[in-house]
Structure 1
Amino acid sequence: MNSIAKIGRSLISVFLVVLVSTLMFFTSPAMAANWTTVNRENVETELLDSDKTTVVLLVSKAFPEDAKTQLKSAVEKTYGDKYKLAVGSIEENAFIYNNILAPRIYPPLPGITTVINGSVLQGIFIDPNDPSPAFKFVNNQLGND
Protein backbone atom coordinates (compact mmCIF):
# COMPACT_ATOMS: atom_id res chain seq x y z
CA MET A 1 0.00 0.00 0.00
CA ASN A 2 2.91 2.29 0.79
CA SER A 3 4.45 1.76 -2.65
CA ILE A 4 1.15 2.62 -4.40
CA ALA A 5 1.03 5.94 -2.52
CA LYS A 6 4.65 6.68 -3.51
CA ILE A 7 3.92 5.90 -7.16
CA GLY A 8 0.82 8.10 -7.02
CA ARG A 9 2.80 11.02 -5.54
CA SER A 10 5.53 10.55 -8.13
CA LEU A 11 3.02 10.58 -10.98
CA ILE A 12 1.35 13.71 -9.62
CA SER A 13 4.74 15.40 -9.24
CA VAL A 14 5.72 14.55 -12.81
CA PHE A 15 2.35 15.81 -14.05
CA LEU A 16 2.77 19.12 -12.19
CA VAL A 17 6.31 19.62 -13.52
CA VAL A 18 5.13 19.03 -17.09
CA LEU A 19 2.15 21.35 -16.59
CA VAL A 20 4.21 24.20 -15.13
CA SER A 21 6.94 23.87 -17.74
CA THR A 22 4.40 24.09 -20.59
CA LEU A 23 2.77 27.18 -19.08
CA MET A 24 5.95 29.18 -19.52
CA PHE A 25 5.49 28.96 -23.30
CA PHE A 26 2.30 31.00 -23.13
CA THR A 27 2.82 34.75 -23.44
CA SER A 28 1.67 36.84 -20.55
CA PRO A 29 -0.99 39.51 -21.23
CA ALA A 30 1.57 42.21 -20.43
CA MET A 31 3.78 41.00 -23.28
CA ALA A 32 1.07 40.25 -25.81
CA ALA A 33 1.34 43.51 -27.74
CA ASN A 34 4.43 44.44 -29.63
CA TRP A 35 5.48 47.85 -28.29
CA THR A 36 7.88 50.06 -30.21
CA THR A 37 10.06 52.40 -28.18
CA VAL A 38 10.24 55.82 -29.79
CA ASN A 39 13.29 58.02 -29.31
CA ARG A 40 15.22 60.70 -31.21
CA GLU A 41 17.01 58.15 -33.37
CA ASN A 42 14.01 56.21 -34.67
CA VAL A 43 11.06 58.61 -34.61
CA GLU A 44 11.27 59.14 -38.37
CA THR A 45 11.26 55.45 -39.27
CA GLU A 46 8.88 54.22 -36.57
CA LEU A 47 6.26 56.99 -36.70
CA LEU A 48 6.60 59.57 -39.43
CA ASP A 49 7.50 57.23 -42.31
CA SER A 50 5.26 54.39 -41.12
CA ASP A 51 2.18 53.47 -43.13
CA LYS A 52 0.53 51.97 -40.04
CA THR A 53 -1.73 53.91 -37.70
CA THR A 54 0.16 54.17 -34.43
CA VAL A 55 -1.10 54.95 -30.94
CA VAL A 56 1.68 56.76 -29.08
CA LEU A 57 1.97 56.87 -25.30
CA LEU A 58 4.39 59.43 -23.89
CA VAL A 59 5.39 59.31 -20.23
CA SER A 60 7.93 61.46 -18.42
CA LYS A 61 11.08 59.85 -17.09
CA ALA A 62 10.15 61.42 -13.73
CA PHE A 63 6.94 59.38 -13.57
CA PRO A 64 6.93 56.29 -11.33
CA GLU A 65 7.65 53.06 -13.21
CA ASP A 66 4.58 51.27 -11.82
CA ALA A 67 2.30 54.05 -13.10
CA LYS A 68 3.95 53.79 -16.52
CA THR A 69 3.39 50.02 -16.54
CA GLN A 70 -0.25 50.51 -15.54
CA LEU A 71 -0.79 53.01 -18.37
CA LYS A 72 0.89 50.74 -20.92
CA SER A 73 -1.38 47.91 -19.83
CA ALA A 74 -4.50 50.07 -20.22
CA VAL A 75 -3.43 51.29 -23.68
CA GLU A 76 -2.55 47.75 -24.73
CA LYS A 77 -5.90 46.42 -23.57
CA THR A 78 -7.73 49.15 -25.51
CA TYR A 79 -5.69 49.36 -28.74
CA GLY A 80 -3.23 46.45 -28.82
CA ASP A 81 -5.09 44.22 -31.21
CA LYS A 82 -5.98 46.95 -33.74
CA TYR A 83 -3.07 49.37 -33.97
CA LYS A 84 0.69 49.60 -33.73
CA LEU A 85 1.69 50.76 -30.24
CA ALA A 86 4.59 53.05 -29.43
CA VAL A 87 5.90 54.35 -26.13
CA GLY A 88 8.48 56.99 -25.42
CA SER A 89 9.60 59.57 -22.94
CA ILE A 90 8.22 63.08 -23.07
CA GLU A 91 11.72 64.47 -22.68
CA GLU A 92 13.01 62.76 -25.84
CA ASN A 93 9.85 63.37 -27.89
CA ALA A 94 8.99 66.96 -27.00
CA PHE A 95 7.88 67.84 -30.52
CA ILE A 96 5.21 65.12 -30.33
CA TYR A 97 4.21 66.14 -26.80
CA ASN A 98 3.65 69.70 -28.06
CA ASN A 99 0.63 68.33 -29.93
CA ILE A 100 -0.88 67.03 -26.69
CA LEU A 101 -3.43 69.09 -24.80
CA ALA A 102 -2.04 69.09 -21.28
CA PRO A 103 -1.25 71.59 -18.55
CA ARG A 104 2.44 72.43 -18.67
CA ILE A 105 3.50 71.32 -15.21
CA TYR A 106 6.39 69.29 -13.85
CA PRO A 107 6.49 66.37 -14.01
CA PRO A 108 4.45 66.51 -17.21
CA LEU A 109 1.30 64.44 -17.31
CA PRO A 110 1.38 61.37 -19.53
CA GLY A 111 -0.10 61.89 -22.96
CA ILE A 112 -1.55 59.85 -25.76
CA THR A 113 -1.82 60.68 -29.43
CA THR A 114 -2.04 58.98 -32.77
CA VAL A 115 0.07 59.13 -35.90
CA ILE A 116 -1.78 58.46 -39.13
CA ASN A 117 0.06 58.47 -42.46
CA GLY A 118 3.01 60.29 -40.92
CA SER A 119 0.91 63.07 -39.37
CA VAL A 120 0.89 63.50 -35.61
CA LEU A 121 -2.67 64.25 -34.58
CA GLN A 122 -3.64 66.30 -31.58
CA GLY A 123 -3.43 64.25 -28.41
CA ILE A 124 -4.56 64.62 -24.84
CA PHE A 125 -3.13 63.98 -21.39
CA ILE A 126 -4.02 60.83 -19.53
CA ASP A 127 -5.22 60.77 -15.96
CA PRO A 128 -3.43 57.68 -14.59
CA ASN A 129 -6.38 56.98 -12.29
CA ASP A 130 -8.98 57.15 -15.08
CA PRO A 131 -7.66 56.92 -18.65
CA SER A 132 -11.14 56.49 -20.19
CA PRO A 133 -11.66 60.20 -21.17
CA ALA A 134 -8.33 60.17 -23.03
CA PHE A 135 -9.26 56.91 -24.76
CA LYS A 136 -12.61 58.42 -25.77
CA PHE A 137 -10.74 61.37 -27.31
CA VAL A 138 -8.44 59.04 -29.27
CA ASN A 139 -11.36 56.84 -30.33
CA ASN A 140 -13.08 59.90 -31.80
CA GLN A 141 -9.95 60.61 -33.86
CA LEU A 142 -9.69 57.03 -35.03
CA GLY A 143 -13.37 56.74 -35.85
CA ASN A 144 -13.95 54.04 -33.23
CA ASP A 145 -17.22 53.99 -31.34
Structure 2
Amino acid sequence: MDHASSSEQARREAGYSRWPARGDVAQTIGVVGGPLALLLGLQVKYTIAQMWACESGTAVAMVHVTALVALLLAIGSGVAAASQWRPAARGADPGDEGGPVGRTRTLAVVGVGISALSALVIVSQWLPQLFLDPCRQ
Protein backbone atom coordinates (compact mmCIF):
# COMPACT_ATOMS: atom_id res chain seq x y z
CA MET A 1 0.00 0.00 0.00
CA ASP A 2 1.49 3.32 -1.00
CA HIS A 3 1.55 6.52 1.05
CA ALA A 4 -1.25 8.30 -0.84
CA SER A 5 -3.78 5.52 -0.38
CA SER A 6 -2.87 5.03 3.28
CA SER A 7 -3.39 8.73 4.03
CA GLU A 8 -6.74 8.63 2.22
CA GLN A 9 -7.78 5.60 4.24
CA ALA A 10 -6.65 7.26 7.49
CA ARG A 11 -8.69 10.36 6.63
CA ARG A 12 -11.81 8.26 5.99
CA GLU A 13 -11.34 6.37 9.25
CA ALA A 14 -10.97 9.63 11.17
CA GLY A 15 -14.22 10.91 9.67
CA TYR A 16 -12.67 13.64 7.51
CA SER A 17 -13.86 14.28 4.00
CA ARG A 18 -12.71 16.50 1.19
CA TRP A 19 -15.70 18.84 1.43
CA PRO A 20 -17.41 20.04 4.59
CA ALA A 21 -20.89 18.76 5.21
CA ARG A 22 -23.80 20.90 4.09
CA GLY A 23 -24.89 21.46 7.68
CA ASP A 24 -21.44 22.68 8.69
CA VAL A 25 -21.43 25.20 5.85
CA ALA A 26 -24.91 26.44 6.83
CA GLN A 27 -23.79 26.81 10.46
CA THR A 28 -20.74 28.82 9.41
CA ILE A 29 -22.78 31.03 7.11
CA GLY A 30 -25.32 31.54 9.88
CA VAL A 31 -22.70 32.74 12.35
CA VAL A 32 -20.47 34.89 10.12
CA GLY A 33 -22.84 35.83 7.27
CA GLY A 34 -24.73 38.60 9.08
CA PRO A 35 -21.69 40.50 10.36
CA LEU A 36 -19.95 40.12 7.00
CA ALA A 37 -23.03 41.49 5.21
CA LEU A 38 -23.08 44.42 7.63
CA LEU A 39 -19.41 45.27 7.18
CA LEU A 40 -19.39 44.70 3.43
CA GLY A 41 -22.50 46.83 2.95
CA LEU A 42 -21.04 49.66 4.98
CA GLN A 43 -17.77 49.54 3.04
CA VAL A 44 -19.51 49.47 -0.32
CA LYS A 45 -21.77 52.40 0.62
CA TYR A 46 -18.80 54.52 1.63
CA THR A 47 -16.93 53.56 -1.51
CA ILE A 48 -19.92 54.30 -3.74
CA ALA A 49 -20.61 57.66 -2.16
CA GLN A 50 -16.97 58.72 -2.05
CA MET A 51 -15.67 57.47 -5.38
CA TRP A 52 -18.09 57.87 -8.21
CA ALA A 53 -21.77 57.91 -7.36
CA CYS A 54 -21.90 61.47 -6.09
CA GLU A 55 -20.33 62.74 -9.31
CA SER A 56 -22.67 60.74 -11.53
CA GLY A 57 -25.84 61.51 -9.57
CA THR A 58 -26.76 57.89 -8.82
CA ALA A 59 -25.55 57.85 -5.24
CA VAL A 60 -28.96 57.79 -3.59
CA ALA A 61 -30.19 54.81 -5.60
CA MET A 62 -26.93 52.89 -5.23
CA VAL A 63 -26.79 53.44 -1.48
CA HIS A 64 -30.34 52.12 -1.09
CA VAL A 65 -29.69 49.11 -3.32
CA THR A 66 -26.53 48.31 -1.36
CA ALA A 67 -28.35 48.56 1.96
CA LEU A 68 -31.16 46.34 0.68
CA VAL A 69 -28.72 43.69 -0.58
CA ALA A 70 -26.85 43.73 2.75
CA LEU A 71 -30.15 43.37 4.63
CA LEU A 72 -31.21 40.44 2.45
CA LEU A 73 -27.82 38.75 2.97
CA ALA A 74 -28.10 39.14 6.75
CA ILE A 75 -31.64 37.76 6.74
CA GLY A 76 -30.53 34.90 4.49
CA SER A 77 -27.75 33.95 6.88
CA GLY A 78 -30.30 33.88 9.71
CA VAL A 79 -32.52 31.60 7.64
CA ALA A 80 -29.54 29.32 6.99
CA ALA A 81 -28.90 29.10 10.73
CA ALA A 82 -32.58 28.48 11.48
CA SER A 83 -32.68 25.69 8.91
CA GLN A 84 -30.02 23.86 10.93
CA TRP A 85 -31.77 24.42 14.25
CA ARG A 86 -35.07 22.82 13.29
CA PRO A 87 -33.75 19.28 12.69
CA ALA A 88 -31.46 19.44 15.73
CA ALA A 89 -34.26 20.72 17.99
CA ARG A 90 -36.35 17.57 17.60
CA GLY A 91 -36.44 15.32 20.57
CA ALA A 92 -36.18 15.85 24.28
CA ASP A 93 -34.93 18.82 26.24
CA PRO A 94 -31.37 19.52 25.07
CA GLY A 95 -29.99 20.23 28.52
CA ASP A 96 -26.22 20.06 28.41
CA GLU A 97 -26.07 17.75 25.43
CA GLY A 98 -22.73 17.80 23.71
CA GLY A 99 -21.48 16.40 20.46
CA PRO A 100 -22.71 17.32 17.00
CA VAL A 101 -26.34 17.86 18.05
CA GLY A 102 -25.43 20.22 20.89
CA ARG A 103 -22.98 22.08 18.67
CA THR A 104 -25.59 22.42 15.94
CA ARG A 105 -28.18 23.78 18.36
CA THR A 106 -25.76 26.26 19.87
CA LEU A 107 -24.40 27.53 16.56
CA ALA A 108 -27.91 27.76 15.12
CA VAL A 109 -29.16 29.90 18.00
CA VAL A 110 -26.03 32.09 17.89
CA GLY A 111 -26.36 32.40 14.10
CA VAL A 112 -30.01 33.45 14.27
CA GLY A 113 -29.25 35.96 17.02
CA ILE A 114 -26.20 37.53 15.41
CA SER A 115 -27.91 37.66 12.01
CA ALA A 116 -30.93 39.39 13.53
CA LEU A 117 -28.66 41.86 15.32
CA SER A 118 -26.76 42.51 12.09
CA ALA A 119 -30.03 43.09 10.21
CA LEU A 120 -31.11 45.54 12.91
CA VAL A 121 -27.84 47.47 12.61
CA ILE A 122 -28.14 47.54 8.80
CA VAL A 123 -31.63 49.00 9.08
CA SER A 124 -30.48 51.54 11.68
CA GLN A 125 -27.66 52.63 9.36
CA TRP A 126 -30.08 52.83 6.47
CA LEU A 127 -32.58 55.13 8.23
CA PRO A 128 -30.47 58.33 8.08
CA GLN A 129 -29.82 57.69 4.40
CA LEU A 130 -33.56 57.79 3.77
CA PHE A 131 -33.72 61.38 5.05
CA LEU A 132 -30.26 62.80 4.30
CA ASP A 133 -28.44 63.06 1.00
CA PRO A 134 -25.36 60.77 1.09
CA CYS A 135 -23.42 63.22 -1.08
CA ARG A 136 -23.95 66.25 1.13
CA GLN A 137 -20.66 67.48 2.52
Range of TM-score over shorter length: under 0.3
Which structure exhibits the higher relative contact order, with contacts defined as CA atoms closer than 8 Å and separated by 6 or more residues? 2
Instruction: Report the TM-score when normalising by structure 2.
Output: 0.25
Instruction: Name the structure with the higher strand share.
Output: 1
Instruction: Report the TM-score when normalising by structure 1.
Output: 0.25
Instruction: Name the structure with the higher helix share.
Output: 2
